[in-house]
Structures are given as C-alpha cells and as structure tokens.
A and B are shown apart, each in its own frame.
Chain A
Amino acid sequence: MSKNPNDRGLVITASALLEGDVVYLDAAKHWVRHLDRANSFPDTETARQALDAQDQRDVIGAYLMDTRPAPNGGLEPVHFREDFRRTGPSNRFLGKQADPLVQER
C-alpha cells in the first residue's frame, strides 16, 4: 500500500469499554486518552497489522482514522467528526476539552 499523500498519517482509535471515552493507540501499544500521544502510522498496511496485533479487550470498535500534522506541531484529524471526538461537544464545555490533561497542552 502506498504512503498517504501530504504527510498524512493514520491513528488507531476506539472507545474505552468502561466510559465509552475516545482512546488512541500510542507507540508503546497502550490506549491513551489524547490524540497528541497517539502513534501515527505511515500507511494503511502497517496500521492494519498493528490493529490486528493489538489487545482490544478494554476498548470497543477500534478503527483507523486519518490525521495530518497540526500547524502548531503534533497531529490533527482530517475529518471534522474526529475533531469533535477529540474535543467534546461544541454546545457544552464537557468531554476531553474539559479534561485538565488537555488543558496542560
């Protein structure tokens, strides 16, 4: 499979079993809560292999999402749906945006 154009990468994401919260897979193969800590895969094949090999007992519905480099460093989602998932609802300050860990960024 060819590389994604424009430095795009793929991140493995899912929902946590206990809270339903959005999680991402990091380089140490741990499920983490914030996109900044996620591991970016260069192509679908590598990402798919990592997903298949990953222990998914604590998560639901893992899939691959497209990312690109954020202007201020780190990663950002290509699709706006993933932007809501990593942030929280836009009508209330709840979810990840209200999480102190995100505020530290």
Chain B
Amino acid sequence: MYHYTDFDRAFVSDRAAMFRTQVARRLDGSLSEEEFRPLRLMNGLYLMLHAYMLRIAIPYGTLNSAKMRQLAMIADRWDKGYGHFTTRQNIQFNWPKLPDVPDILEALADVEMHAIQSSGNCIRNVTADHFAGAAADEIEDPRPTAELIRQWSTDHPEFAFLPRKFKFAVIGSAQDRAVSKMHDIGIRLVRDARGEKGYELSIGGGLGRTPMVGRVLRGFLPRGDLLAYLEAILQVYNVLGRRDNKYKARIKITVHETGLDRLQEMVEARFLLQRTRFDGSDQIVLAAIERDFAEPDYQRLTSDAFDAAYTKNGAFRSFVDTNITAHKQPDYAIVTVSLKAHGATPGDASSDQMRLLADLAQKFSHDELRVSHEQNIILPHVPKALLPALYAGLRDGRLATANIGLISDIIACPGMDYCDLATARAIPVAQDIARRFDSLKIERDIGPIKIKISGCINACGHHHVAHIGILGLEKHGVESYQITLGGDATETARIGDRVGPGFSADDILPAVETIIYTYLAHRLDPEEQFIQTYRRIGLPVFKTALYGQKEQSRAA
C-alpha cells in the first residue's frame, strides 16, 4: 500500500491547517457564505438536508486497519457513530458540525487520508477495481497507475477549474469491475501484440441526465506516455468544454458535439507537444509507487480447516459460494463483506463494524481492506485455511450476510433521506426490496442480479447501468419511481431501457416483484441469469407484465 512521502504529509497537513483558518474566518464573520462555499467544497464539505456532510476520498478504494479505525473514531467522536460508503469509493459522514471539521481533517491527515478534491469542478477521487492486486484475471495491479494520477491531479493548477467535475477509473483486467466505461476517462491496462504493457483509454462515459457509454480514444498507449496524454485530453477539454451550460459541460457532451474523430485529432496533436515536456521523471515516481504496492508475503497453509467447515457448515458454505472470489494465489480467497444485511441501509457501516473489519483485516487479510463501488467492503488477501475463522468473526459482528451479487445486494444513493439534490428517497426502496425477497426465500433461486437505485437524475446510484434500475423523481408533489431494464455496468456496458410510466412509492416494490416473477417464468433454466433472459426475450414481455397488471388491479 502506498505510504505518504514527506511531501504528501506536509501538503495534506498544510491544507487541513489552511481550512482551520478559513473556518475561523467564516465563524467570526470575515467570510460570507458566498466566499466560504468554494473553500469548504474544495475540502469535501457539503451542506445537505439536515446537516453538513463531509466526503472523504478513499483513493482506489484501498484502506488498512489504521485508516479504518480512524474512520470509526471520527464517526464516534464527531458524527453519529456511522459512515456511508459511496459508489465512488468515498466515505461520507452525515452529521459533522462546522467548527469540528478542521479537527476531523487533521485526524484524517494523521492516517494519510484527506477530503481534497472530493467536490468541485476538478479531478475527483481516482477509483479502481476493488479486487486490484488480488484478482486472478488481471494483467497488473491498476493502483500504482491510479496513485500516479492522484498525485499528478492533486492541486494541479491547470485542472483546478475545469468546465465540470472529472472522474477517472483504472482497471487492470479485461473484466470491468469498476464501471470504467461510465467515467470521464476509463483506463484499462492492456498488452499489445508484442506483449508490451500499456493503456487503453476510453473517454466520455458518464451517468446523470445524459447517460453515455465511454468510447475508446486510444487503443494502446505506451505506459510512459500516460500523463502527457491525459494532459492533452484535459487541455483540449479545458478549451472546448461548455462552460456556458452546466448540463452540457461534462466531457461526454464535448465528445458528442465535437465528434470522436475530430477530438482524437486534437488530442493527438496536443499530445505530440505535451510529450516533449515530460523527461521521464514521472516514470521514476511510478516505479517507486509500484514498490509500495508489492504483493503481500503470502502464507502457505493447508486447506484442511476450510474443507471440513465447507462440508459441515451450511451457512459457511452459502457464504463461500456467494461472497468469495478467486484469488490469483490458488490457496487464497478474496472475501466481499456485505454491507447489505436485509433491511440495512446500503453502504452504511457502524463504528463497531468498522473496528471489527479493521481487526479482521489485520488478522486475516494482510492488513488490507477495499471499498467497492457496490458499497461493500473487501478483504482482498485471505488464506483459504483461515476462511472459517474469518467467517465466525464476521458472523459474530452481524457481517456475514451471504448475498453478494444477489437481489438484496443493492446500490442506493442517500436520496432524499439526506441529499439536498434528491427528488425522492432511494434507501427505503432498497430496504423494502431486500426484506421482501428475503421473506419470500427465493433470493438464491433468482440468482445473480443487479438492482441500483438513484434518488435523482444525477444517478449517484448508477441506475442506468443496472439490470433493474430505479430512478426516484417527483411527480405532482409525490415520489415517483421510473424503472429501466437491461443496463450493464461491466466491460459490455449498456444503458438500460425505460419500461414506461413511473410507479408510486407504494407500487414500486410490487413492480419489482412482477419483473422478477416474469423472469422466473420465462428463464430457460435456473442457470439462465436475469440479464441473459432479458437480452433474449426483450423489453415488451416485461412491459406487458408491468402495465397489464396495473390495469387489472385498477379494474379490481
């Protein structure tokens, strides 16, 4: 894991100290809210419905036990005993008081964390595959590249006032677990015909009111050219980006309006110039970062304990079957810990749960944790032999819910329960769906499915790329929920199809149930997953099931 250099430490501490003076000046009236607002947003401090909200970056989703314990301490000391992990590998505290925020930032700096650039029209937290460094299918750990981009983009004067916010995701394998195609720039490590490692760059992906799937701008970029190429893209965007209209200011619109070919020409021309300004020192920095991400010192243990527990304990077997992913070391496992116990708020973790996860990571996962964009926690390096002991620890802390990838493993943004921008609630919809299918006892029968819920058109809940996407809107003064089907967040990214008119808060759960029973009735066999059935039979069958039924219930 990357550790701060003296430069990083001084920079982050200075920023925390600077914010302390800014808060003091706001409190004594020297700064108006208009003057203070951009300063607080630069430090991740938002004003939400009931209180301030502090958004803290978790670069490429990587934490160790010390960081997780500090987050638990912050939750207890300055918040209300919990935090919310978001779809962009951040954590949000929902109740900080303004005078306390400088202390929180200082506490974060103590463990090499910060909230810088978690808001504003700048390059935001760089996300990565949450299985990075552990996945069996990866070419290389994407996190050193993500860290290089974090360092390059932090406080970069040329890119501090972009037309709009700008999001990067980096992956190291063909399988896309980081929704990279829906980012302003998605970076994928690839090999060329000679086996040389380089990057494939996608551009112009994004959700929100105009969802678009990213398109490949450069199929293969030599590794050493990355930062020069990124600067070329951002320079072109800085000039072309629509500063006249907030809703047209993201680079996806620039790509759409300019055309990919023309944009490509402009970027390539700029790149030739920009490349001469790099002398290779960035590659020396990258090499040093890579050393920080050296693989853990793997333990070699016999798997007898695992085999015995798997045979004897049904609950453990269920947990293994859903929450475990293959590790690149055959005698290791990647464990996903669900923050979606049926009826819980997706992504919320109490301070007790954070401390337990920190303890378990230290004991069983080489002191590493990850936060996934799906709002779960990953223990990336667990020896298979220790899985029974880890499971027992999770179970005792009510964290052994075996539902990863199933219908109750739902993404939901904070929605109108917290968010100032929301048009409807998202969390209670997720809670209701999870509880309902748990009570029906058909969750495992339904199999893998992705439900994602947003409480407004900005789509923090990724509804566009869900198998079943739910968008909460306001219609005639009440909450109304629009459904999309067939979206895909992976390497075959696709925007879902809208089924038709929205459903009221009371009707949304029955509507989801109708969709699920329609799938179950039409699937060829239990092996055919929801998304496969949808692709085979298409939207009309579901549409008829939904709206036909609605008419019938009205008549009755």
Contacts and interface: CB of A to CB of B under 8 A. Distances in A.
A22 B99 CA distance: 17
A20 to B, nearest CB: 4
Contact of B51 (A19, A79, A84, A90): A19
A27 B416 CA distance: 29
A15 B95 CA distance: 13
A94 B80 contact: yes
A17 interface: yes
Contact of A79 (B27, B427, B477): B477
A95 B29 contact: no
Given A60-B33, A91-B417, A20 B47 contact: yes
A21 B52 CA distance: 8
Given A81-B416, A84-B417, A94 B95 contact: yes
Interface in A53-101: 57, 60-61, 78-81, 84-85, 88-92, 94-96
Interface residues of B, number: 27
A28 interface: no
B327 interface: no
A51 to B, nearest CB: 15
B47 A61 contact: yes
B256 interface: no
Nearest to B95: A94
B47 A60 contact: yes
B345 interface: yes
B98 interface: yes
A88 B427 contact: no
Given A80-B479, A89-B418, A94-B95, A20 B51 contact: yes
Interface residues of A, number: 24
B355 interface: no
Contact of B97 (A15, A19, A90): A19
Given A19-B98, A89-B418, A80 B50 contact: no
A18 interface: yes
B428 A91 contact: yes
Interface string A10-27: 000001011111100000
A20 B417 CA distance: 15
Interface of B: 26-27, 29, 33, 47-52, 80, 95, 97-99, 345, 416-418, 425, 427-428, 431, 474, 477-479
Given A19-B97, A20-B52, A92-B345, 5 more contacts: A19-B52, A80-B477, A81-B49, A92-B417, A95-B51
8 contacts: A17-B26, A61-B47, A79-B477, A80-B474, A81-B416, A84-B49, A90-B425, A91-B431
